[in-house]
Amino acid sequence: MAQTNSSPTAGQEPLRLDAAVIGAGVAGLYQLHQLRQQGFAVRAFDTASNVGGTWYWNRYPGAKFDSESYIYQYLFDEKLYKDWSWSERFPGQPEIERWMNYIADRLDLRKDIQFSTTIASAHYQEATGRWTLTTSTGQVIDTQFVISCCGMLSAPLERVFPGQETFKGRIFHTSRWPKEEIDFTGKRVGVVGTGATGIQVIQTIASKVGHLKVFVRTPQYITPMANPHYGEAEQAAYKQRFEELRQNLPNTFSGFEYDFENGPWAELSPERRLEILEANWKFGSLKLWLATCPELFTDPEVSEEISEFVRKKMRERLKDPALCDLLIPTDYGYGTHRVPLESGYLEVYHRPNVEAVSVKKNPIAEVVPQGIKLADCTIHEVDVLILATGFDAGSGALSRIDVRGRGGRSLAEEWRRDIRTALGLMVHGYPNLFTTAAPLAPSAALCNMTTCLQQQTEWITSCLVNMRSKGAKLMEASKEVQDDWVLHHDEIANATLVTKTDSWYMGSNVDGKPRRLLSYIGGVGQYKQKCDALTSQGYPGFSMQ
């Protein structure tokens, strides 16, 4: 195996690898571990100075899981699972980052990770059938396989408004939050964005700032988080379920522990429906969204019924009619984009130091030195500006690398025209490039990420091992298999209400991004079956030579 922990400089001989893994988050760490176990010369690269991926970068106040902690863990090793104990059901970023460090240390992964290294380009070489990767400092890597583990929410939308550079206070994007403590005492703070991130920030800092202005464009349906503390008894209880979780999670609709179990919604009495909705609401997780009934995603009447259930809950908490108008969605259905969990988010707006500013009809025009200027020229003065403005999701991370496949074709250019993949695992024209959390797989959005990333990285490992046993050097998705997958994906996606709503799920948050549901919505279990069938049938539609 190659020694991969030397410190690189430009001008050195290219580093020769079997596999280069881009990213040292949930997918990258496990991919590295698996390939190393299989005896491949592999190194992971990450821009960050430490492991964690999403959980390294998103260290903004209040960042936490929306997945239950005990299902976000890896399930490939019982002892690794059970030797870690969570302090609560939905812990915060510091604890999650500690867990990722625990994984890196326990599996002794650091010696094969090159931190503070950005892969700037990845070019396929027709002559050798290998890839040349170049880092932003000029280091060259010559590798047979490239495995993208760079995450589906890792390309932040940071330059959102003209004039940001003129702002005289500090400006933060949530996913590039500094490591040092930020003191908000007495400060006038503006937050743009009320997605899952904005909500976590807002509910966390409201009591710490002098004055908070939240600029609201699209209101969100919320679901309250029930977040009990875990002592030894609770930890022992969930650990006991290891085998059950390991068996079940990969076969559910969304990779969570719950699944649809109520039967056809239309056959339930109104009383029974309400009972289910109340129980799922009280459960305090994403269950209301992901396991009430599949009709929520496809049937406008069911969608409206459940949306109205949530609106009523929100109205009960938001006493002021003006706030109800501003903060309760009416023009799209519950769960047609990501549902955020919250803890006291709505009540924040009752605080005297918090103000919601609607920017729907009067949008933000620019950032000026003293704050935010709206289209009607009103200026909202703030000392600190927090942009919780989201990501170029799914395709963004890979598109920001200059990826060139056969004949110099550019992945970024192709995806600017149309985002197509073969099961979100490969792209036609880019042999030996494997992708995780890429478009058109459940891991692009609709999944408990660790469930899906384990499944994808295991599929990739098994593929590489299969190739090696056959003496094959090159694998590529045919155009036909990719076209078939896109067709299948679109058929399922277009039958849902998700495709009728604007959000990062549809790419509509990025100007000019092709509109397509980023995530496969046929279900995590069904997706796994399709991937497993490819393996067992010898990868039909993929060339292996």
Long-range contacts of 453-456 (CB under 8 A, 24+ apart): 453/26, 453/27, 453/30, 453/149, 454/30, 454/74, 454/75, 454/76, 454/250, 455/250, 455/524, 455/527, 455/528, 455/531, 456/27, 456/424, 456/425, 456/531
> At closest approach, how far in Å is the CB of 388 from ligand NA7?
5
The correct pick among 359, 374, 403, 447 for binding ligand NA7 (CB under 6 A) is 359
The correct pick among 92, 151, 198, 294 for binding ligand NA7 (CB under 6 A) is 198
The answer to whether residues 158 and 176 touch, using CB atoms and an 8 Å cutoff, is: yes
Tally Cβ neighbours within 10 Å of residue 374. Answer: 18
* Binding status of residue 389 toward ligand NA7 by CB under 6 A: yes
Q: Which stretch binds ligand NA7 (CB under 6 A): 26-34, 115-123, 137-145, 194-202?
A: 194-202
Collapsing DSSP to helix, strand or coil, 124 comes out as strand
* Residue 540 to residue 478: CA distance in whole angstroms: 9
The answer to whether residues 477 and 434 touch, using CB atoms and an 8 Å cutoff, is: no
Collapsing DSSP to helix, strand or coil, 96 comes out as helix
* Binding status of residue 164 toward ligand NA7 by CB under 6 A: no
> At closest approach, how far in Å is the CB of 438 from ligand NA7?
16
Closest CA to 370 of 360, 362, 382: 382
Residue in the structure block whose two tokens are 């970023």: 93
* Binding status of residue 195 toward ligand NA7 by CB under 6 A: yes
* Residue 481 to residue 493: CA distance in whole angstroms: 18
* Binding status of residue 390 toward ligand NA7 by CB under 6 A: yes
The correct pick among 2, 80, 120, 160 for binding ligand NA7 (CB under 6 A) is 160
* Binding status of residue 143 toward ligand NA7 by CB under 6 A: no
Residue 443 vs 482, nearer CB to ligand NA7: 443
Q: Which stretch binds ligand NA7 (CB under 6 A): 69-77, 212-220, 259-267, 302-310?
A: 212-220
Could you tell me the sign of the dihedral formed by the alpha carbons of 357, 363, 364, 366, in that order? negative
> At closest approach, how far in Å is the CB of 521 from ligand NA7?
15
The answer to whether residues 380 and 190 touch, using CB atoms and an 8 Å cutoff, is: yes
Residue 18 makes CB contacts below 8 A (sequence gap 6+) with 35, 40, 41, 42, 143, 144, 145
Q: Which stretch binds ligand NA7 (CB under 6 A): 16-24, 190-198, 322-330, 404-412?
A: 190-198
The correct pick among 36, 338, 404, 489 for binding ligand NA7 (CB under 6 A) is 338
The tokens of 266 are what? 């239309």
Residue 11 makes CB contacts below 8 A (sequence gap 6+) with 138
What backbone phi and psi angles, to 5 degrees, belong to 418? -165, 130
Q: What CA–CA distances, in Å, run from 111 to 4, 49, 76? A: 7, 13, 21
Q: Which residue is nearest to ligand NA7 (CB)?
A: 195
Strand blocks (E) in 92-182? 113-114, 119-125, 130-135, 140-148, 170-173
> At closest approach, how far in Å is the CB of 509 from ligand NA7?
5
* Binding status of residue 214 toward ligand NA7 by CB under 6 A: no
Lay out the site mask for ligand NA7 across 417-436 (x = CB under 6 A, - = otherwise). Answer: --------------------
> At closest approach, how far in Å is the CB of 390 from ligand NA7?
3
Q: Which stretch binds ligand NA7 (CB under 6 A): 135-143, 211-219, 309-317, 427-435?
A: 211-219
Contact set for ligand NA7, span 29-58 (CB under 6 A): none
Q: Which stretch binds ligand NA7 (CB under 6 A): 1-9, 210-218, 271-279, 525-533?
A: 210-218
Closest CA to 65 of 36, 85, 109, 95: 95
* Binding status of residue 217 toward ligand NA7 by CB under 6 A: yes
* Binding status of residue 504 toward ligand NA7 by CB under 6 A: yes
* Binding status of residue 193 toward ligand NA7 by CB under 6 A: yes
* Binding status of residue 364 toward ligand NA7 by CB under 6 A: yes
SS3 content of the chain, % helix, strand, coil (to 5): 40, 20, 45
* Binding status of residue 443 toward ligand NA7 by CB under 6 A: no
* Binding status of residue 192 toward ligand NA7 by CB under 6 A: yes
Q: Which stretch binds ligand NA7 (CB under 6 A): 192-200, 263-271, 314-322, 408-416?
A: 192-200
The tokens of 32 are what? 């590295």
> At closest approach, how far in Å is the CB of 523 from ligand NA7?
18
Residue 134 vs 204, nearer CB to ligand NA7: 204
* Binding status of residue 218 toward ligand NA7 by CB under 6 A: yes
Q: Residue numbers of the site for ligand NA7 (CB under 6 A)?
A: 153, 160, 192-198, 215, 217-218, 338, 359, 364, 388-391, 504, 509
